[in-house]
Structure 1
Amino acid sequence: MPRLAAPASSILALALACTAALPALAADIPVASRPDAVTVFPDGASVTRRLTVSVPAGEHVLVIDDLPLTADPGSIRLQGAGTGSLAINAVDARQPRPTERRDPALVQRLETLKDERQSLDDRIAAERVRKRAAEALVSPGTLAGGERGLVIAEARQALAAAHEETLAADRAIRQAEQAQRGLDRSIAEIEAQLRAQPPRRLEARIAVEAAQAFRGELTLTYAVRQARWAPVYDARLVTTAAKPQLELVRRADIRQQTGEDWTDVALTVSTARVARGGAAPVLQPLVLRFHDPEAMRDRSAVSGMPRPLAMPAPAAPAREQAEASTARAVEQEAVAEVGAFQASFVVPGRAQVASGDGSRTLRIASATLEPDLVSRVVPSLDTTAFLEARFRHGEDVPLMAGPVSLYRDGIFAGRGQIGAATREDEVKLGFGPDDLLRVEHQVVRRTDGSSGIISTSRTEEREFRFVLRNGAQVARRVVVEDRIPVPEQQEITVEPLPGVTAPTLREPDGRRGIVAWSLDLAPGTSRDIRHGWRIRWPADKRVQQVQGRS
């Protein structure tokens, strides 16, 4: 049995804790706690609760009945320090029965409805008293006038007043009774829900034994899967300065549906992925054998036999059944802590992330870069040139793939996607059309499958002309991309036409059949690029063009 004894700073390795003190006899000790710190991963989260506890000597059961159903019981851990001696005997995490714990919100709503109904009972009773008082105004003794005798005018006034008060009392009683019927229906519905409602929390029961009274502060941690964060970026390009500048802002989009709100917590996001398992998958051998029809028929006969009934799948855990000077406003930024295999971003101050369909986006990092600007165009698909910023990622913290909002000189230029990158990887971001670069795509020659009378082969030729003109007042670095057919049979030959412009790059980024021309255009100047090819193949065969993959 693990035991802890410490004079001033004992370090516990427990499974839960308590905050209330009871007599030394064995007893349940309820524990109140709430999330204090959360670390969010791309595929889960770790939640920490902080407890100040006082446990008397003797055997006890610590009870924490407000853990979310999404908490992994096997991940519950406790650490802390204190004075005294405490031993942990067993940990039992389970769902309480509906009779043990009901939804507090529904219970509170039910109590409110019952209070409203009681108020209506009081109002009905008061209106009935009012009605009896009105009836007393027109009793025979009152109307007779006693010794004075009947006074007609006073009798009429009494009758009118009694009539008005009686009608008002009856109307108020009728309205109250109608409201009561609606309340009765709502009360019945909530009571039915409470009877049928499954538990919405996980209860942890920890058997402990204190050889002497223990007092200290403990931290409870547990893992949840229904939480994640994903990177989103803002890329702000400024082209009006002497040198272009790019501010890349990294944000964390946090979502959680754990069933508990994270209110006023210390928040950290980490790049570690906790749901991928601890080791690489194990390969099975790949066996080759000769095709044997007889063996195949034997296996088919066996496979045609009735299969034994499969064992039912185990029920999913309940946690799986059940996100006056003016000054510029500056966003707070997280503090990066880079480890050997992951990075963490500690969000300053305290934060809150509600459980539900919404999300919380926080700024975690930023960098100011000097990118290379390129106007990229693919004339065979679109004669519009697009401005592209390229830079080398220079940080130890990797860039995770995610969506990016693009801004060019303060104007929203659209949305894109940023790829994953580690240190020294090249990153490319497009910032919309470059309208000052004019591009024309001209077809110079096109022949389809011609062949001579005695020729044994067919020939096809394609020739194009790309005309580029820089209408800007500054020089442009331009990259033009096109493609050349890629043969997959030796009988098909592809060769460039004479006099075409030789590309400066072939198969950029490993894209098969792609060629590119990189050139600098001075302000107001033009440039022609000639591109074309000739294809030959046997005359008795037919060539099929397909859209291949890079």
Structure 2
Amino acid sequence: MKKTVFAVLLLGFLSTVSSAQARQIIAESRVSDVTVYGDRAMVKRTASVKLEKGENVVVFEGIPLQVSEDTLRAEGRGAANARIEGLAIKTVYLENNSEKWIRDLEIEIQTLERSVKKIDARSSAFVAQKEFVHSIKLGWGERISKELTLGKPGVAELGEANRFVGESVQKLEEGLFDAEAEKKPLLDKIAALKKQLADLGRNSRKEVRTAEVTIDAAAAMKLDLELSYLVSQARWEPTYDIRLSPDGKSAELLYRAVVAQSSGEDWSGVNLSLSTAAPSVGSAPPELQPWNINFPEPVRPAQGRSYKMAMKAVAPAPMALEADSMQAEYGAADSGMLLASHQSSRIIEGQSSVQFTIPKSVDVPADGSRQTSLIAAEKITVKAEFVTVPKLSQAVFLKSEVTNETTYPLLAGVVNVFNDTAYVGKSYLKPVAPGEKFDLFFGNDNNVKVKRSVVKVRKEAGLLAGNSVSWKCTVELENFRKEEIVLSLIDQLPLAGNEEIKVVLRNSDPTATESRNDGRQLWKLNLKPGEKRTVSYQIDVDYPKGKDIVGAE
């Protein structure tokens, strides 16, 4: 049987014009597919409807208020020729529609408040019992004081009295604690329901939206209709787990997506896709406007002006598209065919973005809660080395140079870092392109030791020489690991804020591997197992006689 796919229509191009003979059909639709971007989502609803010959108006109810009307589109597939003639979205205000909801909320609040009162009554009983036990304790104290002078009571009686008071107080305190713990979620629920009740009281008219698709069918037929639209208040962001292997040569990368939305409609059992595209940025680069520079004009006194209001011409509605431009023919196809499921996310690469398809259906409620889905699990190679900044910390940190060996970019996000089974902490990953390298730190390693000592020498100006300050630094490094390591030692020189101040690194042993413009000095060393190395250097700062410097403390 030949099937027809109907062309997609933009909301702004056509408006629904229903004749008196048009048959209205309320579609029983569901959200089937969602593509989430960084700050919005494209939602697809599907419905199967039975059309009569002639004009039919298919109504999709429950369209969220956050819908972007310009993005509303419809597409259908059926067994006969038909034409989508119009597509429109309507806003309806329902009067007094919330009365039953208000009554239900009031009943639920009253039920919860009764439960709270029962808990309060139980707590009051506990308090009374506690006071009674306290009075017994006081009474026993007076009695014991008197009887002790007479050689009474006995040890057994004292122990029994002490045990009775202690156990009673403990049970009563536990009862009070449990009562408060039981009451707290009830009070939270009551507060939330009262807020809903207040919101309903402020909004006696409930605003809802519907989408209407006008279809002219050549014959009675069944139509599979898809309605898609863009909504705001939806987002996804990446998060990562990186676990370094025990040998430090590879790492496991878990790429996850955290999805949240409050668009006004729940996404239940949907096919979820995540896109790296950014619709908010636009599809083309911004254009530069002329940059004018001129002399300032003298300020002129303000003069009154009269303005004449001009009428705005109303643009005529665009003409309906012809049937030939609206339809595309399909060859014979087997019905009921489903796409095979995947065990891992399917990755679709475009020219400028990537789309991840989650293999299983997903539930994302509209309450803003965060739902996590696995995008990919990859094994990546790493190049490990050690880094120390002994001026700030007497510790040596394990750093790995990681290469993004996947075919897709790693977006900016939080990274949970593990060194084998040990959780190291959180880091933040900047955007990484496929094939690009980035650094990750896996915590400090106690098997590599560092110790830095400094002797500061200040020389006052003589007859011919100026002032100077020197720092004589010695750094001791020792490798207790069983393998040779590469270690980067980082220190810094002060930056002179005046050309009369001279900063020099002298007597460096060994010579610094790299000297950077920001003053940082890098020594890259290879340490064999059990090897101990010493790095020494002197930092000299010379400045003119009769002047003081700041920052040399």
The 5 Å alignment of 1:492-503 reads: 492-503=501-512
- In the TM superposition, residue 382 of structure 1 has moved relative to its aligned partner by 0.8
The 5 Å alignment of 1:15-414 reads: 25-99=21-95, 102=97, 106=101, 109=104, 193=200, 196-199=203-206, 201-239=208-246, 241=247, 244-289=249-294, 295=297, 298=299, 333-414=344-425
2:461 is matched by which residue type in structure 1?
A: S
Alpha-carbon distance between aligned partners in 2 of 1:49 and 1:440, rounded to the nearest angstrom: 65
| Change in CA separation of 1:194 and 1:459 when aligned onto 2, cut-off 3 Å | closer
Q: Which residue of 2 aligns with 1:482?
A: 491
The 5 Å alignment of 1:412-431 reads: 412-431=423-442
2:440 is the alignment partner of 1:445 = no
Alpha-carbon distance between aligned partners in 2 of 1:229 and 1:92, rounded to the nearest angstrom: 29
- In the TM superposition, residue 50 of structure 1 has moved relative to its aligned partner by 1.5
SS at match of 2:281: coil
Q: Which residue of 2 aligns with 1:154?
A: none
SS at match of 2:94: coil
- In the alignment, structure 2 segments of 5+ residues that lack a partner are 12-17, 112-192, 307-341
Q: Which residue of 1 aligns with 2:540?
A: 534
| Change in CA separation of 1:478 and 1:372 when aligned onto 2, cut-off 3 Å | same
> Are the aligned partners of 1:474 and 1:523 in contact in 2 as well (CA < 8 Å)?
yes
SS at match of 2:255: strand
1:433 is matched by which residue type in structure 2?
A: N
- In the TM superposition, residue 278 of structure 1 has moved relative to its aligned partner by 2.3
Higher relative contact order (CA 8 A, sep 6+): 2
| Change in CA separation of 1:332 and 1:109 when aligned onto 2, cut-off 3 Å | farther
- In the TM superposition, residue 261 of structure 1 has moved relative to its aligned partner by 1.0
Residues 149-186 of structure 1: per-residue CA shift (max 9 Å, x gap): xxxxxxxxxxxxxxxxxxxxxxxxxxxxxxxxxxxxx9
> Are the aligned partners of 1:23 and 1:56 in contact in 2 as well (CA < 8 Å)?
no
| Change in CA separation of 1:282 and 1:487 when aligned onto 2, cut-off 3 Å | farther
- In the TM superposition, residue 348 of structure 1 has moved relative to its aligned partner by 0.9
Alpha-carbon distance between aligned partners in 1 of 2:40 and 2:100, rounded to the nearest angstrom: 27
Deviates further, 208-217 or 229-238: 208-217
| Change in CA separation of 1:513 and 1:190 when aligned onto 2, cut-off 3 Å | closer
Alpha-carbon distance between aligned partners in 2 of 1:32 and 1:256, rounded to the nearest angstrom: 23
- In the TM superposition, residue 337 of structure 1 has moved relative to its aligned partner by 2.1
> Are the aligned partners of 1:404 and 1:417 in contact in 2 as well (CA < 8 Å)?
yes
1:244 is matched by which residue type in structure 2?
A: K
Alpha-carbon distance between aligned partners in 2 of 1:24 and 1:298, rounded to the nearest angstrom: 65
1:452 is matched by which residue type in structure 2?
A: G
Q: Which residue of 2 aligns with 1:505?
A: 514
Q: Which residue of 2 aligns with 1:468?
A: 477
- In the TM superposition, residue 444 of structure 1 has moved relative to its aligned partner by 2.6
Alpha-carbon distance between aligned partners in 2 of 1:523 and 1:256, rounded to the nearest angstrom: 54
Q: Percent identity?
A: 26
| Change in CA separation of 1:496 and 1:389 when aligned onto 2, cut-off 3 Å | same
Alpha-carbon distance between aligned partners in 2 of 1:349 and 1:422, rounded to the nearest angstrom: 27
1:337 is matched by which residue type in structure 2?
A: I
> Are the aligned partners of 2:380 and 2:403 in contact in 1 as well (CA < 8 Å)?
no
- In the TM superposition, residue 58 of structure 1 has moved relative to its aligned partner by 3.2
2:5 is matched by which residue type in structure 1?
A: S
1:374 is matched by which residue type in structure 2?
A: E
| Change in CA separation of 1:89 and 1:216 when aligned onto 2, cut-off 3 Å | closer
Alpha-carbon distance between aligned partners in 2 of 1:369 and 1:307, rounded to the nearest angstrom: 70
- In the TM superposition, residue 37 of structure 1 has moved relative to its aligned partner by 0.7
Alpha-carbon distance between aligned partners in 2 of 1:59 and 1:7, rounded to the nearest angstrom: 21
Alpha-carbon distance between aligned partners in 2 of 1:421 and 1:377, rounded to the nearest angstrom: 25
> Are the aligned partners of 1:51 and 1:218 in contact in 2 as well (CA < 8 Å)?
yes
> Are the aligned partners of 1:102 and 1:194 in contact in 2 as well (CA < 8 Å)?
no
| Change in CA separation of 1:539 and 1:396 when aligned onto 2, cut-off 3 Å | farther
2:463 is matched by which residue type in structure 1?
A: I
- In the TM superposition, residue 191 of structure 1 has moved relative to its aligned partner by 11
| Change in CA separation of 1:499 and 1:246 when aligned onto 2, cut-off 3 Å | closer
- In the TM superposition, residue 544 of structure 1 has moved relative to its aligned partner by 4.5
| Change in CA separation of 1:111 and 1:434 when aligned onto 2, cut-off 3 Å | closer
> Are the aligned partners of 2:356 and 2:375 in contact in 1 as well (CA < 8 Å)?
yes
1:97 is matched by which residue type in structure 2?
A: Y
Q: Which residue of 1 aligns with 2:172?
A: none
> Are the aligned partners of 2:38 and 2:237 in contact in 1 as well (CA < 8 Å)?
yes
1:298 is matched by which residue type in structure 2?
A: V
1:215 is matched by which residue type in structure 2?
A: K
- In the alignment, structure 1 segments of 5+ residues that lack a partner are 1-5, 17-21, 117-185, 309-330
SS at match of 1:73: strand
2:539 is matched by which residue type in structure 1?
A: W
> Are the aligned partners of 2:385 and 2:400 in contact in 1 as well (CA < 8 Å)?
yes
Question: What TM-score results when the alignment is normalised by the length of structure 1?
Answer: 0.69
1:252 is matched by which residue type in structure 2?
A: A
> Are the aligned partners of 2:51 and 2:223 in contact in 1 as well (CA < 8 Å)?
no
Alpha-carbon distance between aligned partners in 2 of 1:438 and 1:495, rounded to the nearest angstrom: 28
> Are the aligned partners of 1:253 and 1:361 in contact in 2 as well (CA < 8 Å)?
yes
- In the TM superposition, residue 378 of structure 1 has moved relative to its aligned partner by 0.7
2:477 is matched by which residue type in structure 1?
A: L
Alpha-carbon distance between aligned partners in 1 of 2:410 and 2:99, rounded to the nearest angstrom: 43
Deviates further, 526-535 or 403-412: 526-535
Q: 1:11 aligns with which of 6, 19, 25?
A: 6
Residues 444-489 of structure 1: per-residue CA shift (max 9 Å, x gap): 33327x322354x433322211111112233222111111223354
Runs of 4+ in 1 over 6 A off after TM superposition: 110-113, 189-192, 305-308
Alpha-carbon distance between aligned partners in 1 of 2:463 and 2:241, rounded to the nearest angstrom: 63
Alpha-carbon distance between aligned partners in 2 of 1:104 and 1:353, rounded to the nearest angstrom: 29
Q: Which residue of 1 aligns with 2:181?
A: none
> Are the aligned partners of 2:508 and 2:538 in contact in 1 as well (CA < 8 Å)?
no
| Change in CA separation of 1:367 and 1:76 when aligned onto 2, cut-off 3 Å | same
Alpha-carbon distance between aligned partners in 2 of 1:197 and 1:80, rounded to the nearest angstrom: 37
- In the TM superposition, residue 85 of structure 1 has moved relative to its aligned partner by 4.1
Q: Which residue of 2 aligns with 1:121?
A: none
Question: What TM-score results when the alignment is normalised by the length of structure 2?
Answer: 0.69
Deviates further, 207-216 or 265-274: 207-216
1:219 is matched by which residue type in structure 2?
A: E
